[in-house]
Structure 1
Amino acid sequence: MTNHQKRLSVPKSWPVERKTDVFTVKAGAGPHGKEGVPLVVLLRDVLGYVDSKKEARYALSEDAILVNGDPINDEQRPIGMFDIVAFPGREEYYRVFPDEGGRLALTEIDAEAAGSRLGKIEGKQQVPGGDTQLTLHDGTNVVVDEEEYSTNDSIVVDNDDKSIVAHFPFEEGALVTAVRGNHGGKIGEIDAIDVTPGSGPNTISVTTDDGGFETIEEYVVVIDENFTGDDDE
C-alpha cells in the first residue's frame, strides 16, 4: 500500500497547498477518519520544524512531541479537529481549530489550556454494567455513569486522567463554531434549532457579530469562549 496521497484529492480541511507538488503524505490509521491530517504535514508544511519524514521520525523518537498528552512515535498519525499538539521542550502548545472555510489551523495556547481537549458527542449507548458510553467526533470512547449528556453536546476531557472537566449542552444560546460547509470557521450563538421531520438533517440558525448563517446540525460544534483562541494569548 502506498504511503502517498495526491494533493488534489486531499480533504478540504487539510492545510496543504494542492498545486505545488503532485503528492503529499498519506495519513495512517487512527482517529478522525479521512479528515485526519498526518502529523508530519503539520510539522513540515505548517510549522516548518522539519524538512522531511526522516527528521520527523527523529523528533518523535525523542518523545519531543505530544498529542493530547501522549508521546507519538508515528509521523503519519492523523491529527484533527480540537487535538492538542504540544512541544514541551519548546514550551509551545497548539490546538487544532478550524479557520475560515473549515481548513484546519493551529491556534497557539498556554500550557494550562493544553491539559485538556474538546470533543463533540456523536454517539451514545448503554454498555454492560449500566454505564453509558459516549463516542466523540474523533472516535474516542468515554464511559460515564450519568445520563446528562446528549448527542451533539460537547465535553472537555482531561488529557491525563481522561475525566470530563466541562460539559457544553447543544441548545439555543450555545456558542458554536461551524467546522464544515460554506460557513466553516465562523463562530456565533445558536438562535434556533429546526428539527426536520423524517430522516433529513436538522438545521441550525446561528447569530454572529456580523449577521448570521444557517447550516445543518452536523456542521457545528458547541464550544466555550476559551476554545476560540481569543483568550489564550
Structure 2
Amino acid sequence: LVENTREARYIVAKGGVQVDGRTVRERRFPLGIMDVVTFPELKKFYRILPFPRRGLVPYPIPPEEAFLKPRKVLRKVTQKGGDIMLGFHDGFNMLIKVSDPTRPNEEICKVKDVLLFDLSSGKVIQRVAFAENVYALIIGGKNLGKHGKLISFTGGSGTSPGIATIESKDGKRYQTTLEYVFPIGVEKPLISLPEGSS
C-alpha cells in the first residue's frame, strides 16, 4: 500500500486509516483478531485474521464486509437490577436490558457465543452459538488459522481445558482447546476467510 515508513506515517497522521470505522492517528495503535482496517481514500479493506504459521495478518475483504465485525463473548455479568453486561474479546462491552429481571426467561447469549455487529449502527445482526456443527475458526495454538465444522467438544474440568475437534472442508480434523474456538457461522462463515486454511 505504501512504499516507505515516511509515507505510512503521513497517511496515518492525516486520518487516512480507520479501525472498526473509527479514524486512527496513532502509528502504534494495537490491532487484534477480527479488527477491520480501512483505507478510505484507497478503497482498501482488510480484516485481521489468523494464518497458519504466520500469526495475525491483514486479509483483504470486499467493501460490503467492512461494516461487519464478529465479537466473541468472554464475560457475562448480571448487574444490579437484573440487566446483563457482556464483555467481548476485543474489550468492547455491551449492556443488555432485561425486560423482567424477576423472570429471566430471555436467553440472550452465553459465554463463548459470537455476536455479529454492524459497525455502522452498533446493532447486533446475528448470534452464532457455541455448539456442535457450527462453522468455527481456530484463533490460537498449533492449528492457528484452520477452520471448518465444529464436530465435537468436551467441557473440561478443573485444570484440564476442554478440547474441540474441527473438521475442514477436505475432511481433515484438527484439535484445539475451547478457548481457541471462534464460532464464525452456522453452515458457512459469515465473513470471508482464507480458502487455503480450511
TM-score (norm 2): 0.84
Aligned residue number for residue 4 of structure 2: 51
Aligned residue number for residue 27 of structure 2: 75
Aligned residue number for residue 10 of structure 1: none
Aligned residue number for residue 49 of structure 2: 97
Aligned residue number for residue 100 of structure 2: none
Tell me, in whole angstroms, the C-alpha distance in 1 between the residues paired with 2:112 and 2:54. Answer: 18
Q: Is the 8 A contact 2:61 2:192 kept in 1?
A: no
Q: Is the 8 A contact 1:101 1:180 kept in 2?
A: no
Aligned residue number for residue 142 of structure 1: 94
Tell me, in whole angstroms, the C-alpha distance in 2 between the residues paired with 1:67 and 1:153. Answer: 23
The CA deviation at 1:57 is: 3.5
1:152 partner amino acid: K
1:104 partner amino acid: L
Query: Which of 136, 161, 164 is residue 121 of structure 2 equivalent to?
Result: 161
Tell me, in whole angstroms, the C-alpha distance in 2 between the residues paired with 1:216 and 1:223. Answer: 16
The CA deviation at 1:161 is: 2.6
Tell me, in whole angstroms, the C-alpha distance in 2 between the residues paired with 1:102 and 1:203. Answer: 23
Q: Deviations over 1:114-150 (max 9, x none)?
A: 0121111111112344321111111111222353211
Q: Does the residue aligned with 2:179 lie in a helix, a strand or coil?
A: helix
Aligned residue number for residue 193 of structure 2: 229
2:61 partner amino acid: I
1:106 pairs with 2:70: no
Looking at secondary structure, tell me which structure has more helix per residue. Answer: 1
2:147 partner amino acid: I
2:46 partner amino acid: Y
Q: Deviations over 1:47-71 (max 9, x none)?
A: 5x2522x543321232211100000
Q: Is the 8 A contact 1:102 1:181 kept in 2?
A: no
- The alignment yields a C-alpha RMSD, in angstroms, of 1.9
Aligned residue number for residue 30 of structure 1: none
The CA deviation at 1:191 is: 1.1
Structure 2: unaligned runs, 5 residues or longer: 98-105
Structure 1 residues 230 and 178: alpha-carbon distance in aligned structure 2, compared to 1, 3 A threshold: closer
